[in-house]
Chain A
């Protein structure tokens, strides 16, 4: 198990090296230039040239890439052209809002998704089943920004119950943080709950048709024990996988939600960095996200061992 873990962690290195190189090439190969954006619409080509030189952007691409590798190996992700601070600092500042949003949206998604899947699976074809699955279908189909904007209009503008947008740190002002987080977490969690609900339903259906469930029922176990102890635990592995994937997606930036609700997280950072061609920030965010992605996958794989004792890693 330990050896397996070490192997998996070592496998991170080539994955991240590929991510770093591809990101670097992609961002430099797309047209556009940070300096033209920063100097504004009326800047002359001569001014742009001088500023490119000052930032080292006029050096050949291979040279820039090698310098970038050298820095990354030292743990230095470079300095943002636009924000005047090290990329690592910018990442740390944005990590908290994104983590808080991810965890609260995930909570909403699980609380809605898993029970609805199980309830739907308990009586397949019933009115409950059809209503819940229709809601799940809606959750998948409705665009996130549409839902978010309507939530803002209803709960902030019309009813005035919650603020329209913004962010407060839970460590500074927990009450304000909660008020700011409700709408984004619910609108993001709702659409993510759909997939979880559908997977929970199909896995539960499959589990409920197994021989051991029939045996359990024949033994005279209660409906609840059969559902929760015997079926649910066996249905859990794919559900945990989906929850893991959802979490990774959310960490990578609930971009639309962060923009609409004006949450200063990683999703907003990467979008603005791409638009400004702030190369070091784009590379930094993608590197951080890729690392999180791989680690979450690893975490999920480890969880399987606890859920299903038959799974062993050698």
Chain B
């Protein structure tokens, strides 16, 4: 062997070893650092029981925990609960709590805290109310055991305790009892891996690592499993202007930014220090009908709307022409909620059948009366799909009075049946069939159809998964026949992070920063 060959071989070996060790170093999480996250705005509250606002959901899930959480396939997985048992008749749920769990104020979490917390949640949260409507008795058995007695068999106990939105966070007894359910709590003490350190509205919210946090022993799994706070601090910075959020990820002033405009996608992809993330599920676009008063109480007219629209060009336009950012799907649960995703053939979805639409309009006795369709420019995608819908519907003979208002006006007016015929919004991930709000009589638009109501009630009672799926498929068929709302396609969101950020779970609907660490 020539000396040169040996030398080259030696250098190559050293290089391989070095690169291997640097890979290993990159894989080992580091403790410390401040993660700066660009937020859309201010949360209306940091009381998880009080509001369904998604920004509150994201923030509070770092500070509080519930008895259950969701795993990677969006099924319930224990968090503060150790285990549970169900009596033979299915009416009594007994939950064992984990022991030695500390609140941020140093106090141990026990059944004394769990009972009033969930009682408060049961009076205010939409998920809590649905569950507690079925609860006959809710009490502590001993320090680490709580018991829930039901009026009738229920399918939604665990999933309701596990949903991350408007969730059953456990607060210390003192706080749960101090703030009545309809008044937002303004003291924030939880058991989560981060504790709230400072909230300066419009400037930042600082969360710091809770050193006494006791993680579960399982591997991280979806929102659940083991959680480690590697970061010293998460600093949530409201940056309402989206172009500024993009620029600040590019310059490194932010490590992470959510809800970016799709037109920034190409620019961010070219930046070697940034990584783009397509967030799924995000929303399916929806036009919600007023079924209490006015023109759209006529099911034939709703069916005509459904028959007329050609969804793909609308979705393509809303997604800025990027095929990666939309998906054509008729299932009411998105693909990511695997347990409830349906694959039914022959549904009257995306028919773009103008003849059928005209026939239905005639049968409905529609005489070109203006249909008031409310939307907002505050969410560009809503305005875009409303505008394209208007064009398509007017091509078949509808008269659409597009009313563009700000979001606050829209959410106010949609509660008044005299003020509109249809409005735009987005439907986020619902983790259980009973959580699809547009199928209920209490949510704006008021779906009071008896068949839909009966199936929803059946879904709440039936506990056998196979039978539930059969009911859910029947409900999906009912949905496309009764058309309480129009399901368009799935739209995806855009997020971006610095490449120095590691360990981020890109698969969850909402962002979580436990198990995340900084490599710099």
Give residues in A with beta carbon < 8 Å to B.
30-34, 36-48, 50-51, 53-54, 82-85, 90, 93-94, 149, 152-153, 156-157, 160, 163-167, 259-262, 264, 268-269, 272, 275-277
Please count how many residues in chain B sit with their CB below 8 Å of the partner chain's CB atoms.
Answer: 50
* B465 in the interface (beta carbon within 8 A): no
Docked-complex contact A39 and B251, CB < 8 angstroms: no
Docked-complex contact B412 and A83, CB < 8 angstroms: no
> Contacts of B378 on A, CB cut-off 8 Å?
275
Residue in A37, A90, A93, A160 whose CB lies within 8 Å of B408: A37
CB-nearest residue of chain A to B201: A83
A93-B199 Cα distance, complex, nearest whole Å:
13
Docked-complex contact A277 and B408, CB < 8 angstroms: yes
Query: In the complex where A40-B54, A43-B52, A51-B182 touch, is A165 in contact with B412 (Cβ < 8 A)?
Result: no
Docked-complex contact A163 and B52, CB < 8 angstroms: no
* B77 in the interface (beta carbon within 8 A): no
Query: In the complex where A38-B51, A82-B44, A164-B251 touch, is A260 in contact with B243 (Cβ < 8 A)?
Result: yes
Hey, what's the 0/1 contact readout for B18-59 against A, CB within 8 Å counting as 1? 000000000000000000000001101100001111101000
Instruction: Please give me the 5 A-B residue pairs with the lowest Cβ-Cβ distance, nearest first.
Output: A40-B52, A32-B408, A38-B44, A40-B53, A42-B52
* B260 in the interface (beta carbon within 8 A): no
Residue in A46, A54, A157 whose CB lies within 8 Å of B247: A157
Docked-complex contact B251 and A157, CB < 8 angstroms: yes
* B248 in the interface (beta carbon within 8 A): yes
Whole-angstrom distance from the CB of A153 to the nearest CB of chain B? 7
Task: List B residues 169-190 near A (Cβ within 8 Å).
Answer: 180, 182-184, 186
Query: In the complex where A31-B412, A38-B44, A42-B52 touch, is A269 in contact with B202 (Cβ < 8 A)?
Result: yes
A104-B141 Cα distance, complex, nearest whole Å:
65
> Contacts of A152 on B, CB cut-off 8 Å?
243-244, 247
> Contacts of A259 on B, CB cut-off 8 Å?
240-241, 244
A37-B165 Cα distance, complex, nearest whole Å:
16
* B15 in the interface (beta carbon within 8 A): no
Whole-angstrom distance from the CB of A223 to the nearest CB of chain B? 47
CB-nearest residue of chain A to B441: A44
Docked-complex contact A46 and B407, CB < 8 angstroms: no
> Contacts of A262 on B, CB cut-off 8 Å?
237-241, 244
Docked-complex contact B407 and A44, CB < 8 angstroms: no
> Contacts of A37 on B, CB cut-off 8 Å?
44, 407-408, 411
CB-nearest residue of chain A to B55: A40
Docked-complex contact B425 and A149, CB < 8 angstroms: no
> Contacts of A83 on B, CB cut-off 8 Å?
42, 201
> Interface residues of B: mostly helix, strand, loop or mixed?
loop
Hey, what's the 0/1 contact readout for B415-433 against A, CB within 8 Å counting as 1? 1000000000100000000
25 A-B pairs with C-beta separation under 8 A: A30-B409, A31-B413, A32-B411, A36-B415, A38-B184, A40-B54, A40-B56, A41-B53, A41-B411, A42-B126, A42-B165, A42-B166, A42-B437, A45-B444, A94-B202, A149-B243, A164-B247, A165-B241, A165-B253, A166-B248, A260-B244, A262-B239, A272-B202, A275-B406, A277-B408
Query: In the complex where A36-B415, A47-B124, A272-B42 touch, is A160 in contact with B182 (Cβ < 8 A)?
Result: no
Give residues in B with beta carbon < 8 Å to A.
41-42, 44-45, 50-54, 56, 124, 126, 165-166, 180, 182-184, 186, 200-203, 237-241, 243-244, 247-248, 250-251, 253, 378, 405-409, 411-413, 415, 425, 437, 442-444
Given A47-B126, A156-B251, 14 extra CB contacts under 8 A:
A31-B405, A36-B411, A36-B412, A38-B53, A40-B53, A42-B443, A45-B444, A47-B182, A53-B182, A152-B247, A163-B251, A165-B239, A259-B241, A275-B408
A259-B244 Cα distance, complex, nearest whole Å:
9
> Contacts of A48 on B, CB cut-off 8 Å?
415
Whole-angstrom distance from the CB of B418 to the nearest CB of chain A? 12
Whole-angstrom distance from the CB of B428 to the nearest CB of chain A? 8
Residue in B182, B238, B407, B425 whose CB lies within 8 Å of A50: B182
* Count of A-B contacts judged by CB separation below 8 Å: 140
A261-B201 Cα distance, complex, nearest whole Å:
16
Residue from B44, B166, B243, B425 whose CB has the most chain A CB atoms within 10 Å? B44
> Contacts of A93 on B, CB cut-off 8 Å?
200
A269-B42 Cα distance, complex, nearest whole Å:
11
CB-nearest residue of chain A to B444: A45
> Contacts of B50 on A, CB cut-off 8 Å?
39
A240-B41 Cα distance, complex, nearest whole Å:
38
A39-B42 Cα distance, complex, nearest whole Å:
13
A167-B239 Cα distance, complex, nearest whole Å:
12
> Contacts of A43 on B, CB cut-off 8 Å?
51-52, 126
> Contacts of B239 on A, CB cut-off 8 Å?
165, 262
> Contacts of A44 on B, CB cut-off 8 Å?
126, 442-443
A46-B172 Cα distance, complex, nearest whole Å:
27
Docked-complex contact B182 and A82, CB < 8 angstroms: no
Docked-complex contact B442 and A45, CB < 8 angstroms: yes
Residue in A32, A46, A84, A260 whose CB lies within 8 Å of B186: A84
Whole-angstrom distance from the CB of B285 to the nearest CB of chain A? 14
Docked-complex contact A165 and B201, CB < 8 angstroms: no
> Contacts of A165 on B, CB cut-off 8 Å?
239, 241, 244, 247-248, 253
Query: In the complex where A31-B405, A276-B408 touch, is A46 in contact with B202 (Cβ < 8 A)?
Result: no
CB-nearest residue of chain A to B51: A40
Whole-angstrom distance from the CB of B268 to the nearest CB of chain A? 11
> Contacts of B126 on A, CB cut-off 8 Å?
42-44, 47
Docked-complex contact A33 and B182, CB < 8 angstroms: no
A85-B202 Cα distance, complex, nearest whole Å:
13
CB-nearest residue of chain A to B443: A44
Whole-angstrom distance from the CB of B216 to the nearest CB of chain A? 29
> Contacts of A39 on B, CB cut-off 8 Å?
44, 50-53
CB-nearest residue of chain A to B199: A84
CB-nearest residue of chain B to A35: B412
A33-B238 Cα distance, complex, nearest whole Å:
22
